[in-house]
Amino acid sequence: HHPSLTRNKVGYTRRDYEGRVSTLCAGCGHDSISAAIVEACWELDIEPHRVAKLSGIGCSSKTPDYFLGASHGFNTVHGRMPSVLTGASLANRDLLYLGVSGDGDSASIGLGQFANAMRRGVCMAYIVENNGVYGLTKGQFSATADRGSKSKKGVVNSDSPVDLVALALQLGATYVARSFSGDKAQLVPLIKGAMSHGGAAFVDVISPCVTFNNHAGSTKSYDYIRQHNDAVSRIDFITPRSEITTEYAPGELVEVRQHDGSLLRLRKLHSDYNPTDRNAAMNYMQTHQARGEVVTGLLYVDPL
């Protein structure tokens, strides 16, 4: 049998968790996240009809069309996915709620919605596909764009970025993780954890926009992330332009060369990292961030 035809405990193949064919740009990080969601749901033996997937507006928010074709879905208005999801979850508590959003959707127009969903402990897996750019409207800076980074047109961003992981930690989310779209070995377990969590679970996934924000100087580019990722031992990523496999150990710094020549530096959590201390998570993250490193892995989970 082809692996996609192997049946899980509830009798479904991976194909049963797929959706329509993606219309995103070839090489977009978001398609890898859709594939990770398919894999996570198959491995968790979740029947597709038990999932409700909700999104807002943006390239990321188009992706629920590309996975779990047999689940319930609602494509809401810009930045309003969390409140529509909250309402749906109050009406039907039997479904598993998966919110898919982007940095424009959740860190700009929907920042208040994001904050209150985390604060209220809405039972959901909240995935942000973070590329620091408005891809759908052709490359404006989003609220997570790095200060000093350059747009494709050469404009320099002078604003400070919003860090959704730091916010989620501060606001009381009970499961907080960061990963990279090209690191399936790390991303699938983190999504499985979020979907099984039973509280407000937030996963920030750095997901390069190959069309508008994959150049040097951007911490949301493939190169940067490949250089800074840690916590799982390898990254495999295939772009239309290149094929990259990097092996590294937990705690290791991985540097990724971006299109414009700059480096993205990812550090995976050290193997002895304790994810049950909220303040320690904040300190760990900020210490590494001050060195220009982006920390990936499960940063915090409520031990109770």
Please report how close the Cβ of residue 282 comes to ligand SF4 at its closest, in angstroms.
29
281 binds ligand SF4 (CB under 6 A): no
Which of helix, strand or coil describes residue 47? coil
How many residues belong to the site for ligand SF4 (CB under 6 A)?
12
**Interface positions, 55-74, toward ligand SF4 (CB under 6 A):** 59
Residue 178: HSE in the Cβ half-sphere, 13 Å Cα cutoff:
27
Of 35, 37, 47, 36, nearest to 8 (Cα)?
47
Measured from the Cβ of residue 168, the count of other Cβ atoms closer than 10 Å reads 29
Q: Which of 19, 135, 193, 297 binds ligand SF4 (CB under 6 A)?
A: 135
Nearer to ligand SF4, 177 or 209 (CB): 209
Region of 8-16, 203-211, 259-267, 269-277 interacting with ligand SF4 (CB under 6 A): 203-211
Please report how close the Cβ of residue 22 comes to ligand SF4 at its closest, in angstroms.
8
Q: Is 282 exposed, middle or buried (0-12, 13-18, 19+ CB in 10 A)?
A: middle
Backbone angles phi, psi at 133, to 5 degrees: -155, 150
Region of 107-115, 131-139, 226-234, 256-264 interacting with ligand SF4 (CB under 6 A): 131-139
Nearer to ligand SF4, 86 or 142 (CB): 142
254 binds ligand SF4 (CB under 6 A): no
125 binds ligand SF4 (CB under 6 A): no
Please report how close the Cβ of residue 177 comes to ligand SF4 at its closest, in angstroms.
21
Nearer to ligand SF4, 59 or 264 (CB): 59
Q: Which of 16, 17, 24, 149 binds ligand SF4 (CB under 6 A)?
A: 24
Residue 89 tokens read as 């979850």
Q: Which of 202, 212, 222, 273 binds ligand SF4 (CB under 6 A)?
A: 212
Angle made by CA atoms 195, 197, 201, in degrees to the nearest 5: 75
Of 58, 130, 129, 136, nearest to 98 (Cα)?
129
Region of 23-31, 64-72, 74-82, 151-159 interacting with ligand SF4 (CB under 6 A): 23-31
Of 60, 158, 67, 72, nearest to 107 (Cα)?
60
Q: Which of 209, 254, 263, 295 binds ligand SF4 (CB under 6 A)?
A: 209
How far is it, in rounded angstroms, from Cα 255 to Cα 266? 6
Residue 121: HSE in the Cβ half-sphere, 13 Å Cα cutoff:
7
Could you list the residues that contact ligand SF4 (CB under 6 A)? 24-25, 28, 30, 59, 131, 135-136, 209-212
